[in-house]
Amino acid sequence: MTSSSSVVAEKDETGRIFYTTIGHHSTDIPAKKTARTTAIKAPLQNRLFNAKSFQALGHSISAIFLPAGYPNTVTPDYLHYQMYNDVQEFCSSLSGLLASRGALEGFGVGDASASANQALLLTALKDVCSRFTTIIGAYYFGTSLYPETKTFRFLADVINDTSIVLDTISPYFTTISISTTSPYIPSGSTLQIVALCMSGAMRSLCGLVAGGSKAALTDHFASPMNSKGDVGELNAKSASRSTVVALTGVLLGTLMVPYITTRTSIYTALFFLVFGHLLANYLAVRSVVLRSLNRQRSSILWSTFRNPKADGYSPVLTPGDVSKREIILDIPSRIRDAVSNKVIGHCSLGVSVQYAMTRCNTPHVLKMLQHFQADPYVLFVMEPRSWGRRGPCILASFKEGYKSMDQLRAWLHALEIAAMWSARRMRPSPSPSEIEDMVLSTHETLRKEFIHFMGCMEEAGWNIEEGAMMMGSPGSMIMSPEAKKDA
């Protein structure tokens, strides 16, 4: 006689399939278990038990340190970035111990002539520098962090390492005394005090830049092609991993730092830790494959699209291909040739017409306003003698009601002008009429190719709706004639 049973198949968020049996299966005649059968099955059962134990342990560790649903809820570059990020966290925790010891010595720890009031005053001075830097840095860099995520993520760690170096070597800046009489001036040298204050300012700037760029990266990791991850959980799991890695570094550092006391050993340890930290950060940033468009990525895509192969086919690179060709530390306003990587021009987006009037002659501004009357943007080409740089310097103004796609179009138009200018080779600088012809001919090129280019990019996996060409909003916009009448 057999009792009824049912097997339910389930799939978890990682795609793993498992089965649950409801009820049990029994027969009238139970199977006889001989001693020989038991002896054969025992080792097999032990091996299966061990395999299941290791599998359960791995699943538990994955659930603690990786986001739910991994790898389906994150982008494919998530794991590579986190591996390099953990390495840099480890190096940073070790070098941070050397920096903390140097900062304490700079505050007067171990100096019999130092007082608590002097240390407190120096701490307050360092804190003031840090807070002012946060305010100023947020104003200047706040709108730049999302468009140039990879650049500022790496730059944040360069700033952080500079702060660590200043803290570590600050005890050796004791040659120039700032005061020997006033009890209210911190003990130590002027150079030492400046180093500690600069260290505090750079550390706060690092926190600001790293925080903004990490938020953009987290949003990228939580946005795979066919699903959507949890940004909050990614942040929590990242903090959990960082805590474990930093704790390991601190525990190891407490065993090593007491033996690193001479100037030579300190400089040697600091060199290797900072080098490892920057190398891990560079590899981490390089491994990120962003699908959004910024100025550098769009330049690479458009230049490749505009230079077809021998068979006439114009390819559009995938996000992975473009990430291998990106320059991590670069000035966003530079226009580069996609083949040689040479700078062929500069372009500033979102400038006012009033500013363009100070850089271009009046007839040129009037002609450009007329030529771009039906477009959501206007380009102005500065006179060659006005900038002293290689290639043209182009200014882009936007009209009221412009969209992110118009920013991309204006940048690509400027890229076409720079490419045509560069093709002149060693010829003299173009005349105003030649510049006007360049603008008009490249405008026609954009009109013919832009829609096809956007369609090819979407097929290649790019997120064309999420553009980050310009840092922030333009300072001013050109109003429509109807709006001017109403005003």
Region 71-86: mean pLDDT is: 88
Q: Which of 173, 165, 157 is nearest to 214 (CA)?
A: 157
Residue 402 three-state SS: coil
Q: How large is the angle between the packed helices 149-169 and 78-106, nearest 10 degrees?
A: 30
282: exposed, middle or buried (C-beta count within 10 Å: 0-12, 13-18, 19+)? middle
Cα–Cα distance, 58 to 144 (Å, whole number): 40
CA angle 206, 467, 144 (to 5 degrees): 20
β-partners of residue 440 are: none
What is the Cα 218 distance to its own chain's centre?
Answer: 10
Residue 281 has pLDDT above 90, yes or no: yes
Kindly give, in sequence order, each residue whose CB lies less than 8 Å from that of residue 62, ignoring residues fewer than 6 positions away. 70
Instruction: Tell me the mean pLDDT in the region 147-158.
Output: 89
Bridge partners, 412 (sequence order): none
pLDDT, greater one: 215 or 112:
215
Least confident of 57-66, 359-368, 374-383: 57-66
Mean pLDDT of the chain: 79
In a 10 Å sphere around its CB, with 0-12 CB exposed, 13-18 middle and 19+ buried, how is residue 37 labelled?
A: exposed
Estimate the crossing angle of helix 190-221 against helix 116-141, to 10 degrees: 40
Please state which of the ranges 197-211, 321-335, 467-481 shows the lowest mean pLDDT.
Answer: 467-481
Residue 187, pLDDT > 50, answer no
Buried b (16+ CB within 10 A) or exposed e, 92-110: bbbbbbbbebbbebbbbee
Distance CA 148, CA 468 (A): 8
Evaluate the omega torsion of the peptide bond into residue 147 and state whether it is cis, within 30 degrees of 0: no
Tell me how far apart the alpha carbons of residues 467 and 340 are, in angstroms, rounded to a whole number.
25
pTM of the model as a whole? 0.79
Dmax (CA) of the chain: 104
Total residue count of the chain as it appears in this document: 487
Q: Phi and psi at residue 332, in whole multiples of 5°?
A: -60, -30
Eight-state DSSP code of residue 171: G
Domains in the chain, please, with CATH?
A: 78-287 (1.20.1250), 295-486 (no CATH)
Rounded to whole angstroms, the Cα distance separating 203 from 179 reads: 27
Which tens digits make up the pLDDT trace of 194-253? 888 888 888 888 888 888 888 888 888 888 877 777 788 888 888 888 888 988 988 998
What is residue 228's predicted lDDT score, i.e. its pLDDT?
76
Six-digit token string for 436:
């006007």
Can you give the pLDDT at residue 35? 45
Query: Is 29 or 195 the better-scoring residue by pLDDT?
Result: 195
1-5, 118-122, 449-453: least confidently modelled range? 1-5
pLDDT tens, residue by residue, 338-367: 777 888 889 988 888 888 888 888 889 999
| Pairwise pLDDT comparison (479 vs 407), residue with the higher score | 407
CA separation for the pair 98, 261 (Å, rounded): 10
What are the b/e assignments for 221-255, b being 16+ CB within 10 Å?
bbbbeeeebeeeebeebbeebbeebbeebeeebee
In the numeric block, which tokens belong to residue 60? 């538990």
